[in-house]
Structure 1
Amino acid sequence: MTQSPNQTSLEVGSKQKYLGHKGLIAFMALMNMFIPLSTDMYLPALPSMNTYFGSSSAVTNLTLSAFFLFYAVGILFWGPLSDKYGRKPILLVGSILYAASSIACAMSVNIYFLIAARIFQAIGSGAITSVSMAVVKDSYSGKKRESILAICQSISGLAPMVAPIVGALILTFSDWRGSFWALALISIVNLGFSILFQETLKVEERYTGTLFGSLGRLVIVSKNKSFIIPALIFALSTLPFMGYIAVSSYVYVNYFGLSAQIYSYFFAANALLSIAGPFIYVKFLSNMNKKLFASMILAIATLSGVLVMTLGTLTPLLFWISFLFMSLSGAVMRPFSANLLLDQQESDIGSVSSVIGTLFTVLGSIGMALASIPWGNIVFGLGLIITIFSLISLLLWNVFMKSSIPCVGVKNIT
């Protein structure tokens, strides 16, 4: 018998004695905030950090790109372990590691110590976020899961909106260290949630093989073409957004000559409108033909790149409007893509979460590196990246849809 959404909510809530259903959603949303909080909060301080440490933009930006690279490594390690040992132990270890490394970041004496501390911070955050997606799969299914993903992604969307404003505010009474002290405090809150959290992975569903064998499940999951191909396509489509994260402060502060505070408002306004993306999908687009939906969204992202290359180079407002099409299309796509990828695999969900996170993070790091290249015109360079990779994703999606490879929820080929 199919459960109603209310029945599902009550069942999930009853499994969380201390958090309940709403508390679990809040916890999952907080876990999803860790990456934007870890990157966006100190973005306003990047230009001043160059001066403080006497380093170049390329070296200072390693605090971003190295973070994402080792975050991907952390995800690969933690996800399969959560399939073997359960979600809670991994959450506890990750939260403690993140808190300790955030304190180390705040106490850094030079740029290279900060980069090293950010690497450990990234590994800790990998444990937190890899478990968050697995908990969603453990606890929900079908349309309910898609709705929960939309809720969590919208709530977590507050992070990129609030983080740069808070970061710029911190700069008015502190220096760049204040942002990392704030991250340490947030991680302590997350640790409290982790302590109250009750395990969602049943004992009988855990991987019973060796530790090495659990890591080997990553290979098994990656061989599933129905999963790995769309995962690559969706990861490629988000690559330009991470490029924007890396250079947005330089675009607004250096290219357009705005203050760090005004930059934070532009950044936050973009994030605020993006919060509506998951709800727009659930409310208006979730019943649309999935093949057509993804093609439409990727086409809009491609158009955004063309607009950024042309109109976006003229004024900060036109840049903001041009890029908004890219960020809003990505926000609309997120609940669809996450649910679709989870549907392609019935077991080894920790490994699934790891592979998804790693693909998105590695390609995101590439996007950051590409956007940080001295283009001559930084806005044109970003627009070119958006156009090329959105178009590639659009073409690959349509090739995949015409292939004989099945895809649960979109096409089923026997």
Structure 2
Amino acid sequence: MTKLFSKTHEPVDGSSPNAPGWYMLAVLSLLMGFASISTDLYLPAMPTMARSLGADAGMIELTISGYLVGFSLGQLLWGPISDRYGRRPSVAVGLVLFVIGAAGCALSENVLILIAWRIVQALGACASVALSRAMVRDLYEGNRAAQMLSTLITVMAIAPLVGPLVGGQIVAFAGWRALFWTLVGIGLVTLAALFTIPETLPAERRNRESIGHALMRYGELLRYRRLLGYAGTGSFLYAGVFAYVAGTPFAYITIYHVPVQLYGLLFGLGIIGIMVANLVNLRLVPRFGYDRMLLFGTVITAISAIVTAVATHTGWGGLWGLVAPLFVFVSMTGFVVANSITGAMADFPERAGAVSALVGALQYGLGMVGSGLVGAFADGTPWPMGWVIAITGVGSLLCMGLLAPERIRKTADAGYEKIA
């Protein structure tokens, strides 16, 4: 039987002998950015889509929730498939599904059909995201893996930074359907780029157990307390972030009357915050270890989430009273995501695809809950978004309790040893 649990590989000074060049890292960043590409580009179009399809705000917000359903569940399948057959062919099939789903969205005539095609689109996109993280784990270990994930997340953050800005212009000049045709083009370009990079999981390192057996062993992975702790910190944050994604178009555009073309500027502030936080994390992880940086991120996440809830309930500070705490909250993604994923995969190098998929499924599964709650309790105010973000921010911090204090000290000591 394949060994399920193995010792961590820390400290690790660098990469494997097959460490990638910057071109491959750029392709991996593009793959990792498919979740953002698939959502952020069309955020400014949501009010327009509601009018065009004769749907209310809550139903349009469910296009995000529907996407997250496919994105969450699909990863559970792609992880074992890639561990058995390799990363590149699995991603290629996923990209084909993404293109088909995006075309279906562009041709949709009502909101229910749109939601269905969004699920198909997500089933394909999730392969790129989950397996790009596994590819990083194929090539790097320990704190170095956390550094590289921070680097990739910083690069791919360009997509959500420019996505709403570009999306707003496309809506203004060509309509919302043109957004999905744009996604078709992006999918085809990425598919071509995929075949210019090598496979990161050689045949001798692949998991030979059947897909069915691998799927059943997800239950075994969930018995590990530290894995749940790492997955929980990132998953609760994702729930809050997707509540932000679902709630801010209507909060900013409808309630505070921000022009649709300028929505992307406010949304982009959070992306800049994520990029800066990732760069700081990149520098500090070797010194303090990824667990310490994760603890710092979750503490600030909880504080900013509570302030956001107060702002949405009282209206204190108007637009900027809401934008400021949301900026801090979203920025903490730069400290939480890379470090939580690295911690989750550290103990399971031989099952990196399955663990990455499980973590991703939990992240986007709770993201679905977060965005769904905002849509279900929509009342014409930002308050539903605020209380969802508050609960998820506190939940992210509480999950740190599943990580033993000595584990945090261990990874910090590994960082000190590395730079000594």
Give me the TM-score of the superposition, normalised by structure 1: 0.90
Contact 1:340–1:409 (8 Å) recurs in 2: no
Residue 288 (structure 1) aligns with: 288
> Given that residues 77 and 215 in structure 1 are in contact (C-alpha distance below 8 angstroms), is that contact kept between their aligned partners in structure 2?
yes
Q: What amino acid maps onto 1:12 in structure 2?
A: A
Query: Gaps spanning 5+ residues in structure 1: where?
Result: 14-20
Structure 2 CA distance for partners of 1:401 and 1:60, relative to 1, 3 Å? same
Cross-structure match for 2:178: 178
Cα shift at 1:364: 0.4
**Residue by residue, what CA displacement relative to the aligned partner does 1:187-235 show, whole Å, maximum 9, x if unpaired?**
0111012222221112121121223223233233333333123212331
1:93-128: CA deviations, max 9, x gaps? Answer: 111111122112112222222111111101111221
Compared with structure 1, are the counterparts of its residues 137 and 130 closer, same or farther at alpha carbon in structure 2 (3 Å cutoff)? same
The letter of the residue matching 1:194 is: L
Structure 1, 92-101 or 388-397: larger mean CA deviation: 388-397
| Partner secondary structure for residue 200 of structure 2 | coil
**8 Å CA contact retained: 1:295, 1:397:** yes
Distance 1:11 1:263, change over 3 A: same
Pairing of 1:3-82 with structure 2 (within 5 A): 5=14, 8=15, 11-13=18-20, 21-82=21-82
Query: How far off is 1:371 after superposition?
Result: 2.0
Q: State how many pairs are aligned.
A: 401
Are 1:238 and 2:238 matched, yes or no? yes
Distance in 2 between residues matched to 1:128 and 1:377, nearest whole Å: 36
Identify the residue that residue 148 of structure 2 maps to in structure 1.
148
| Structure 1 counterpart SS, 2:55 | coil
Code of the aligned partner of 2:374:
A
Give CA deviations for 1:45-74 in whole Å, capped at 9, x if unaligned: 111111101112222222110100111111
Closer, same or farther in 2 for the Cα pair 1:237/1:350, shift >3 Å? same
Q: Which amino acid aligns with 1:381?
A: P
Go from structure 1 to structure 2 and tell me whether the alpha carbon gap of 1:209 and 1:22 turns closer, same or farther (over 3 Å shift): same
Shift of 1:281: 1.1
For the 8 Å contact 2:146–2:285, the answer to whether it is kept is: no
Is 1:357 matched with 2:360? Answer: yes
Pick which of 247-256 and 211-220 moved more: 211-220
Whichever residue aligns with residue 409 of structure 1, its letter is T
Pairwise CA distance, 1:133:
0.9
| TM-score scaled by length of structure 2 | 0.89
Change (3 A) 1:395 1:157: same
- Counterpart in the other structure of 2:195: 195
RMSD between superposed Cα atoms in Å: 2.4
| Gap change, CA 1:140 and 1:107, over 3 Å in 2 | same
| Cα separation, 1, equivalents of 2:233 and 2:335 | 16
Match of residue 117 from structure 1 = 117
Q: Which runs of 5+ in 2 are unaligned?
A: 1-10, 415-420
The 1-side partners of 2:413 and 2:379 are apart by: 44
Higher relative contact order (CA 8 A, sep 6+): 2
Question: Residue 397 of structure 1 is aligned with which of 395, 400, 413?
Answer: 400
* Counterpart for residue 270 of structure 1: 270
Note if 1:126 corresponds to 2:132. no
**CA distance in 2: counterparts of 1:219 and 1:406, whole angstroms:** 25
3-state SS in 2 of match to 1:61: helix
Question: Against the structure 1 CA distance between its residues 137 and 284, is the aligned structure 2 distance closer, same or farther, given a 3 Å change threshold?
Answer: closer
Q: What letter corresponds to residue 358 of structure 1 in structure 2? A: A
Q: How far apart are the structure 2 equivalents of 1:189 and 1:378?
A: 40
**Which piece of structure 1 moves more, 160-169 or 211-220?**
211-220
